[in-house]
Structure 1
Amino acid sequence: MEETFITIAKFQYTTEAQIVKGRLEADGIEVFLRDNFTIDTDPLVSNAIGGVKLKVLAKDKDAAMEILQSIKAYSLDDNGNPIICPNCGKNRVQMFSTINNFKSFFAFIIGFVFGTLPFSTRYQYKCENCNTTFPIKD
């Protein structure tokens, strides 16, 4: 079991995964990336195949997760201050796209084809502490 690789994180693009891989390898943790070449060849399939999977040996999982949590980037406002969750008051907030079902995916494709992509894509924040989602304030 200890010689088995397990997935500890997923990234949309290889560059994000390579940065974390370098950090983990600098601490002596053996890392394997899966699906990185497929996504490098065609980045549009990233969501379809689940992104680049960052894998570590099962015996190194806890150490790798601790390092991953220490370098995880959370959302900042325009002044560089962390975004605070309105529900729990923590700053463990990340921005995500609301393209999560067929209707929103179809709207994304139509926007992409007609060149209105930036206007039709919606983003929200999600707190990792309490799972509250809230809109981006303009």
Structure 2
Amino acid sequence: MSDTFKTIARFQYSTEAQIIKGRLEADGIKVFLFDNLTIDTDPLVSNAIGGVKLKVLSTDALKAQHILNSIEKFSLDDDGNPINCPNCNSKDVILFSTIKDFKSFIAFIFGFISGTLPFYSKNKYRCDKCNTKFDLK
């Protein structure tokens, strides 16, 4: 039996990788994260080193890829239902953060200078199909 690992996914931050790692381990797949500690130490190097690599045993790669493909990558509401775009009714909707007003801009600058996370930002949804940006009411 081969103990070689194969990279099946890459993530910008280790928190995303940890969620998928937990899902795969729940199905009995051994998972190894590579470069997660480096990116946790300095998140700005994530793109330079290729992100956090999620590796599984080569023998489990196909099963892990199947599980990874079955995970919904788009936004859900509080009841677990897909969020639909109000313009084209697509379910391919993602959450993003925006800085649109003066208050969020000042909070961003303060967070950038002090080295803390921004404490005020506005979250919106964006449709991947028609690029419509909207809020949930």
Q: Which residue of 2 aligns with 1:16?
A: 16
Alpha-carbon separation, structure 2, partners of 1:80 and 1:26: 20
Matches within 5 A, 1:89-128: 89-96=89-96, 113=112, 125-127=126-128
Alpha-carbon separation, structure 1, partners of 2:127 and 2:52: 21
Q: Which has the larger radius of gyration?
A: 2
Q: Which residue of 1 aligns with 2:53?
A: 53
The 1:77–1:25 alpha-carbon spacing in structure 2 relative to 1, beyond 3 Å, is: closer
What is the percent sequence identity of the aligned residues?
A: 51
Alpha-carbon separation, structure 2, partners of 1:126 and 1:65: 25
Could you tell me how far 1:52 is from its partner in structure 2?
Answer: 1.5
The answer to whether the 8 A contact 2:126-2:133 is kept is yes
Could you tell me how far 1:61 is from its partner in structure 2?
Answer: 3.0
Long gaps (5+) in structure 1: 99-108
3-state SS of 1:133 partner: coil
| 1:19-76: CA deviation from partner (whole Å, max 9, x where unpaired) | 2212212222222211101012123433443432212234433321222233445223
Could you tell me which amino acid in structure 2 is paired with residue 23 of structure 1? R
Alpha-carbon separation, structure 1, partners of 2:20 and 2:126: 23
Q: Which residue of 2 aligns with 1:69?
A: 69
Number of paired residues? 124
3-state SS of 2:54 partner: strand
Alpha-carbon separation, structure 2, partners of 1:48 and 1:134: 31
3-state SS of 1:6 partner: strand
Q: Select the residue among 131, 134, 137 that pairs with 1:133.
A: 131
Q: Which residue of 1 aligns with 2:34?
A: 34
Give TM-score scaled by structure 2 length.
Answer: 0.58
The 1:82–1:20 alpha-carbon spacing in structure 2 relative to 1, beyond 3 Å, is: same
The 1:126–1:46 alpha-carbon spacing in structure 2 relative to 1, beyond 3 Å, is: farther
Give TM-score scaled by structure 1 length.
Answer: 0.58
Could you tell me how far 1:2 is from its partner in structure 2?
Answer: 9.1
RMSD: 4.0
